[in-house]
Structure 1
Amino acid sequence: MAEERRFRSASGVPIALRQRQHSASCRELAVRGPRLQLRSLSAATSAVWLAAYGLFAVSENSMVLSAAIFITLIGLIIYLHFVKIDQESLLVIGSLGIQVTSSYASGKESTTFIEMGQVKDVVINEAIHMQKVIYYLCILLRDPEDPQGVSEVVPLFQSSKPRLDCLIEVYKSCQEILEKRKTGPQSSEIK
């Protein structure tokens, strides 16, 4: 069962939240940002190449055109492979852990897995940036030396930066699974 809802990012860009429930204790939440627009890509490339042609006309050096083409292509490859993230997803499996995946425009994926034993909680935190309050979702990792303490904070959805209404949806889904995990072993011990 997959459900998709539309939201906006902190900067006002439209994003989509897709929730897919695989089982009672397994849920996938994916935030998809806008795709790369061919129009803006073409405009940027044209601007660089026109500027290079203007320099070529003044200097009459063909290396200017070659360098502009080479730099544009390398810059585009770097942007698509290391910067432009199309989708960020969170796979929460109550008995196993949380998998965080970022899918880049080039098709590359970056995945991090956090064992459920390390997860203390999932919370919505707030930060003040310039003159705005920005909300973000993060995973609190349990400190191995102090079970009540937090050793690390892992922020989620850093590229898409969803607004609070979207974060609340993700938070509620994560908390449902975490609560089932907390109450699951106790209810089986009582029986």
Structure 2
Amino acid sequence: MANFYDFSVTTAKGEEIKMADFKGKVVLIVNTATGCGFTPQYTPIEQMYKDYHSKGLEILDIPCNQFGGQAPGSDDEIHEFCTVHYNTTFPQMKKSDVNGDNQLPLFKYLKEQQGFKGFGESKMAQFMKQHLSKIDPNYEKNSDIKWNFTKFVVDKNGNVVARFEPTEDMAVVENCIKALL
């Protein structure tokens, strides 16, 4: 059976990044989009990178255009947007699918390890529930990524320990990461 360290992803520049290179580190993996209501989450994600990278946090930003076409640009355009508007410094991968026939094998694995558990009860969570129930009335019954800015946390031993939907308070994500470092 595969484990986290068996996978790799490709950077926007075409370089392969092996998850095995992250042994002993905590990894936050997030599918992103530049034109999404959750795009401002780049700010706290970048702050976490600044605060915890030297303590062993790695972040993998994987742009995805599968949700509302909210990441339509090229890899270079997406990178420019993120660095100009959010001053991001963490690694950005090649735009990729996270669901369906062309999904990254890494995302298939992540979803098998941590399925969908709901959006919570916030106002935005209620909006997401209503929105997704129109697209797929059975969205709650599968582990697919539901929207941009879904986050997975992998511990220092390669265990996928958490999945956070985009509606989760970023302070909760940060507390999870701090506890693992």
Q: TM-score range by the shorter chain?
A: under 0.3
TM-score (norm 2): 0.25
| Richer in strand (by share) | 1
Higher relative contact order (CA 8 A, sep 6+): 2
Q: Which structure: larger Rg?
A: 1
